[in-house]
């Protein structure tokens, strides 16, 4: 299968055009929208979101990731193989946490990287998702070799990026606020401070009264802030990119 991780949204032509390429060039391969609303223009925030959701890609599957504000510039187009999963997209740090988590898992030869050498007859300056990355993702889904040159992973890494990010990386349809912090890295009694308000940990939404906030470990391991039967983003005045502070108690 091919999974999509983009900041395109589902309105307008962009996601549909990429899916049309994938359907034509990898017929019969399921194409799944994992995220169509990743943080816009922000591969740094997107990297922490994708790092948590990387296991949604089955081993042998392909993730086509396009959060690419530098499209058409000299940023390299990449194929990454990490923990048996393929990732195709821009070399702007979007796959940094995917690679880092695979290395941390201590799996033999977990990460390989290629720069994509192949170019289509028509390559627009502004839509490499359709013209370059989607055809390469289709090739990989068909079991074809990577159309590129192997490079040392360290050449495309971002060693200065933190392992966990104390910022809001995503807000879902319910107003729940995902942070770039792994819950497993926080103390069981840790308190998160956001917008001047302290939020204690709970196991799930019903751990607090209706209308009250909590933070909890979400289903993909991130520390997430919610309000029981309400919107945490509205109640706490939070937006993607806002900072989060871990308070010692």
- Output the six-digit token pair for 92: 């702007």
pLDDT digits (tens, 9 = 90+) for 193-243: 999 999 999 999 999 999 999 999 999 999 999 999 999 999 999 999 999
What is the helix (H) or strand (E) element at residue 148, kind and residue range?
Answer: strand 148-151
Under CATH, to which class is 165-247 assigned?
Answer: mainly beta
**Predicted local distance difference test score (pLDDT) of residue 107:** 63
Separation of alpha carbons 220 and 199, rounded Å = 20
Give the residues across from 112 on adjacent strands.
Answer: 81
| CATH 3.40.50.10800 is right for the domain spanning 2-156 | no
**Predicted local distance difference test score (pLDDT) of residue 248:** 72
Residue ranges covered by each domain of the chain: 2-156, 165-247
Separation of alpha carbons 192 and 215, rounded Å = 8
**Predicted local distance difference test score (pLDDT) of residue 108:** 63
Separation of alpha carbons 206 and 8, rounded Å = 34
Kindly give the parts of the chain with pLDDT less than 50: none
């Amino acid at each position: 299968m091919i999974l999509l991780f983009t900041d395109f949204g589902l309105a307008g032509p962009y996601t549909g055009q990429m899916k049309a390429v994938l359907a034509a060039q990898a017929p019969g391969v399921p194409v799944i929208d994992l995220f169509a609303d990743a943080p816009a223009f922000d591969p740094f925030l997107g990297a922490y979101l994708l790092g948590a959701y990387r296991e949604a890609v089955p081993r042998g599957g392909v993730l086509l990731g396009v959060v690419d504000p530098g499209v058409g510039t000299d940023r390299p187009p990449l194929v990454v193989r990490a923990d048996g999963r393929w990732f195709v997209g821009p070399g702007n740090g979007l796959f940094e946490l995917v690679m880092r988590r695979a290395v941390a898992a201590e799996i033999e030869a977990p990460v390989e990287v290629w720069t994509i050498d192949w170019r289509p007859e028509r390559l627009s300056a502004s839509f490499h998702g359709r013209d370059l990355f989607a055809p390469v993702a289709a090739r990989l889904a068909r079991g074809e070799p990577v159309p590129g040159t192997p490079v040392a992973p360290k050449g495309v890494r971002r060693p200065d990026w933190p392992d966990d990010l104390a910022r809001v990386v995503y807000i879902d349809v319910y107003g729940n606020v995902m942070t770039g912090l792994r819950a497993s890295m926080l103390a069981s009694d840790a308190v998160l401070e956001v917008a001047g308000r302290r939020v204690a940990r709970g196991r799930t939404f019903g751990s607090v009264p209706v209308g009250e906030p909590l933070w909890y470990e979400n289903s993909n391991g991130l520390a997430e802030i919610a309000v029981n039967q309400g919107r945490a983003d509205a109640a706490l005045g939070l937006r993607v990119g806002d900072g989060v502070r871990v308070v010692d108690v």
